[in-house]
């Protein structure tokens, strides 16, 4: 038995040395929520421009946050990009972020800049629908709990989607009990609440369902660009625009390189990569048409981001228990 233990321990140790060593051999370690194509493009261009070596971990916001939690006592990441502004504020509240700045500040939206996080871009939530099956799409969120849409609505799970998590928490924060009652009616009307954004959209693309409640707009626009029978409307009462924050961890040993990466992401070159992904850019001096509509065409509901940063996790836990699994 003893003879078997040594090789196993040795291999585990060797694996640890190589994986951890690889992380620290990089000039910068970046954890980034999707879209993966954007993360890879920004990293590739930045490496070509600077000659620095980056290690990228692309995943969902939930997986990125889980990895940060698992590495809490042995941090690896230098820079983190999330699809949820509230999640970024949550990291700020944990006191694990370093102050952040950018030389491109004057080109950015004021509401998307904080001393510890800056938005790289944003998406907006809407109602996506199959244009072959739906000739008169719903005009507002509240319409979707009506008998007309019984068993025809899909919704991403806010436990799997950072954008949907922000939307649900903001929607409930704004409308209170009215929102809770509506989500219960939506569930009882046969809405399917499960999976991340793409998983919620796929049955609508195939025609198995007609609409997606709280669809992420840039994902829908990408499918529309491919020629799919899909479109999206922004509800008349307003929606939530989700700024996607970039942060630098206080534990980073590569803060200078991290700051260079932030500045590149917010430069015109970096932001044009955001535009090409059909997201709303953080910069106000770039055009988004004809790829998508701009911020000036999207009516929003008031969002108390400070409240969300402190209360979002509890709201989503309650949503999961009461709405998503409380059938």
Residue-range definition of the domain harbouring residue 199: 124-240+300-324
Please state, in angstroms and rounded to a whole number, the distance separating the CA atoms of residues 293 and 279.
10
* 232 phi/psi in degrees, rounded to 5: -145, 140
* 95 phi/psi in degrees, rounded to 5: 65, 40
Mark whether 176 and 304 lie in a shared domain. yes
Mark whether 137 and 113 lie in a shared domain. no
Please state, in angstroms and rounded to a whole number, the distance separating the CA atoms of residues 3 and 104.
60
Mark whether 37 and 104 lie in a shared domain. yes
Residue 131 tokens, joined: 């244009």
* 167 phi/psi in degrees, rounded to 5: -60, -50
Mark whether 194 and 305 lie in a shared domain. yes
DSSP single-letter state for residue 154? E
Mark whether 197 and 222 lie in a shared domain. yes
Nearest Cα to Cα of residue 130 among 233, 204, 227, 191: 204
Split into its structural domains, the chain has a count of: 2
Mark whether 98 and 203 lie in a shared domain. no
Q: Could you give the residue ranges of the DSSP H alpha helices within 189-267?
A: 197-206, 217-225, 255-265
Mark whether 117 and 129 lie in a shared domain. no
Which secondary-structure segment (H or E) carries 231? strand 230-233
Please state, in angstroms and rounded to a whole number, the distance separating the CA atoms of residues 154 and 210.
8
* 29 phi/psi in degrees, rounded to 5: -115, 120
pTM above 0.85, yes or no: yes
CATH number of 265's domain:
3.40.190.10
Mark whether 135 and 200 lie in a shared domain. yes
Mark whether 111 and 260 lie in a shared domain. yes
Q: Encode the chain (327 residues) as per-residue pLDDT tens digits.
A: 444 444 444 444 444 444 444 444 899 999 999 899 999 999 999 999 999 999 999 998 989 999 999 999 999 999 999 999 999 999 999 999 999 999 999 999 999 999 999 999 999 999 999 999 999 999 999 999 999 999 999 999 999 899 999 999 999 999 999 999 999 999 999 999 988 999 999 999 999 999 999 999 999 999 999 999 999 999 999 999 999 999 999 999 999 999 999 999 999 999 999 999 999 999 999 999 999 999 999 999 999 999 999 999 999 999 999 999 975
Nearest Cα to Cα of residue 175 among 277, 81, 315: 315
Mark whether 73 and 116 lie in a shared domain. yes
Mark whether 154 and 272 lie in a shared domain. no
Mark whether 21 and 64 lie in a shared domain. yes
Residues 6+ apart with CB under 8 A from 114: 89, 92, 100, 245
Please state, in angstroms and rounded to a whole number, the distance separating the CA atoms of residues 38 and 242.
17
Q: How many residues make up the chain in this entry?
A: 327
């Amino acid at each position: 038995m003893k003879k078997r233990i040594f090789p196993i321990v040795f291999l585990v140790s060797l694996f640890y040395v190589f994986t951890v060593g690889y992380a620290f051999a990089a000039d910068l370690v970046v954890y980034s929520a999707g879209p993966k194509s954007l993360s890879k493009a920004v990293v590739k261009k930045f490496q070509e421009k600077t000659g620095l070596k980056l290690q990228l971990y692309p995943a969902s916001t939930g997986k990125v946050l889980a990895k940060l939690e698992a590495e809490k006592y042995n941090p690896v990441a230098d820079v983190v990009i999330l699809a949820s502004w509230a999640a970024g504020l949550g990291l700020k509240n944990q006191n694990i972020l370093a102050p952040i700045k950018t030389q491109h500040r004057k080109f950015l939206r004021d509401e998307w800049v904080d001393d510890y996080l800056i938005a790289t871009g944003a998406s907006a939530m809407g109602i996506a629908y199959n244009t072959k099956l739906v000739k008169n799409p719903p005009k507002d969120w509240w319409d979707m709990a009506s008998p007309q849409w019984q068993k025809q609505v899909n919704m991403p799970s806010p436990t799997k989607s950072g954008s949907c998590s922000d939307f649900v928490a903001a929607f409930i924060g704004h409308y209170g009990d009215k929102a809770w009652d509506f989500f219960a009616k939506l569930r009882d009307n046969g809405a399917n609440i499960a999976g991340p954004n793409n998983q919620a959209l796929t049955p609508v693309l195939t025609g198995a369902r007609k609409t997606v409640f709280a669809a992420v707009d840039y994902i829908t626009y990408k499918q529309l660009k491919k020629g799919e029978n899909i479109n999206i409307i922004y509800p008349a009462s307003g929606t939530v625009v989700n700024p996607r924050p970039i942060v630098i961890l206080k534990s980073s040993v590569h803060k200078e390189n991290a700051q260079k990466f932030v500045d590149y992401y917010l430069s015109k070159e970096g932001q044009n990569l955001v535009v090409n992904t059909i997201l709303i850019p953080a910069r106000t001096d770039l055009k988004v048409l004809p790829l998508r509509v701009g911020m000036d065409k999207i009516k929003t509901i008031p969002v108390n981001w400070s409240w969300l940063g402190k209360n979002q996790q509890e709201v989503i836990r309650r949503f999961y228990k009461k709405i998503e699994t409380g059938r």
